[in-house]
Amino acid sequence: MKEKVEKALDIIRPSLQADGGDIELVDIEEGGIVKVRLTGHCAGCPMSQMTMLFGVQATLKEAVPEVKEVIAV
């Protein structure tokens, strides 16, 4: 599952990098909970919650059906 999640993050990454940020996989827990960390400008951005919900979580759930939830740490 880790490889699938990393590949899905590679789809998201260019958009984040265009705004001066990035994303890194922190952990994958049982039950399909994925923990990620936004870095760079994305880390302190007021829109980061929207990015997580509508960008990261939506993309990961679509690409990797085993993902149930994405949490920013």
Q: 14: domain range?
A: 2-72
- Pair 62, 5: CB distance under 8 Å: no
The DSSP 8-state label assigned to residue 54 in this structure reads I
Q: What is the pLDDT of residue 45?
A: 86
**Average pLDDT of 9-20?**
93
Q: How many CB atoms lie within 10 A of CB 23?
A: 24
Query: What is the value of pTM for the model shown?
Result: 0.89
The DSSP 8-state label assigned to residue 52 in this structure reads I
Say how many domains are in the chain. Answer: 1
CATH number of the domain residue 23 falls in: 3.30.300.130
- H/E element holding 61? helix 58-63
**Average pLDDT of 61-70?**
95
